Amino acid sequence: MTDQKKTIRVWDTKEQLGEALAASLLEAAAGAISARGRFVVALSGGSVLQMLGAGLAGRELSGHKTGLWRVCFADERLVAADDEQRNDRQAREALFSVLPVREEQVLSPQAGAGASRSAHEYERSLRELFGRQLDPRGLPRFDLILLGMGEDGHTASLFPGHRLLQMTGSWVLGLEDAPKPPPARVSLSLPVINAARKVVFGVAGSQKAPTVARALTQEATSACPASLVRPRPGELNWHLDRTAAGRLEPAQHPVQESDSPGKA
């Protein structure tokens, strides 16, 4: 395959993994800003956000032109705006406390009138954001989508075997029956995730090791949605801590990292 670059990196600790996620975010931002004058990123919730926030905390961020960033979400949990389960609230606490972005740079799905409506409205804002800058298939190309993965293999709010995985007509999809609470969510669709210029997974913990091995070494299957993430043309980077990589053979993750990622 010539149009996709995939790397798997294994870090000794979660802290190093967080620093690697931070380095990856800042590098993608610098590249996008120099190529296109802005950086459009979609974040996910859960531990990946916490690790990224911790990784950014020690960095000098003033030279990173964060005023040119637009921060979106790969998925959102449709609960009240101030509910601590919301990904945008977690981002405010874990990330925007260290990363200088203003409220008007952040685009997140809102709860209120049901998941389909919320998905529709979020898609409308994304269409405004991307304007005519779409790929030949009419899809937006996020500069970076940051994803986590659940023990069951879900990513964003695309769950194993769920009908959303077959839906290709919309950029954003709503669901009311997520198996992981809360049940009402919106998610970027798989085609939109796979249209990104770069997708980065951050996964830690031994409980996820079997699913990591499944996603990375077996056939892509809707039983493990993370395995279906293959941006093309685009770049796919998996960052794992040693415990999450525990079921991979050394030959399956040739890049072993024992030093901290360089700080820009």
Which residue, 31 or 160, is less far from ligand 6PG as judged by CB? 160
To the nearest whole angstrom, how small is the minimum distance from the Cβ of residue 136 to ligand 6PG?
A: 28
Q: Does 48 bind ligand 6PG (CB under 6 A)?
A: yes
For tokens 């996910």, name the residue: 44
- State how far the alpha carbon of 107 is from the alpha carbons of 43, 47, 88, 91, in Å: 11, 20, 9, 12
The single residue among 18, 55, 150, 261 that binds ligand 6PG, judged by CB under 6 A, is 150
- State how far the alpha carbon of 75 is from the alpha carbons of 46, 146, 244, in Å: 11, 11, 23
The single residue among 140, 148, 234, 261 that binds ligand 6PG, judged by CB under 6 A, is 148
The single residue among 8, 39, 41, 47 that binds ligand 6PG, judged by CB under 6 A, is 47
The single residue among 14, 41, 71, 75 that binds ligand 6PG, judged by CB under 6 A, is 75
> Bridge partners of 185?
77, 175
Q: Does the CA dihedral 160-116-148-164 come out positive or negative?
A: positive
Q: Which stretch binds ligand 6PG (CB under 6 A): 1-9, 41-49, 107-115, 211-219?
A: 41-49
To the nearest whole angstrom, how small is the minimum distance from the Cβ of residue 195 to ligand 6PG?
A: 18
CB 158 within 8 A of CB 190: yes
To the nearest whole angstrom, how small is the minimum distance from the Cβ of residue 264 to ligand 6PG?
A: 25
The DSSP code for 45 is -
**What is the C-alpha separation between 222 and 226, in angstroms, rounded?**
8
CB 25 within 8 A of CB 255: no
Q: Does 45 bind ligand 6PG (CB under 6 A)?
A: yes
Q: Which stretch binds ligand 6PG (CB under 6 A): 9-17, 25-33, 44-52, 58-66?
A: 44-52
For tokens 């800058």, name the residue: 133
The single residue among 12, 33, 36, 46 that binds ligand 6PG, judged by CB under 6 A, is 46
Mapped to the 3 state alphabet, what secondary structure does 77-132 carry?
ECCCCCCCCCHHHHHHHHCCCCCCCCHHHECCCCCCCCHHHHHHHHHHHHHHHHCC
Which residue, 19 or 75, is less far from ligand 6PG as judged by CB? 75
Q: Does 243 bind ligand 6PG (CB under 6 A)?
A: no
For tokens 């992981």, name the residue: 180
CB 164 within 8 A of CB 189: yes
The single residue among 155, 189, 211, 243 that binds ligand 6PG, judged by CB under 6 A, is 155
Q: Does 227 bind ligand 6PG (CB under 6 A)?
A: no
Q: Does 52 bind ligand 6PG (CB under 6 A)?
A: no
Q: Which stretch binds ligand 6PG (CB under 6 A): 118-126, 142-150, 211-219, 242-250?
A: 142-150
Retrieve residue 36's tokens. 């296109």
The DSSP code for 263 is P
Give the interface with ligand 6PG as residue ranges (CB under 6 A).
44-48, 75, 77, 87, 148-150, 154-156
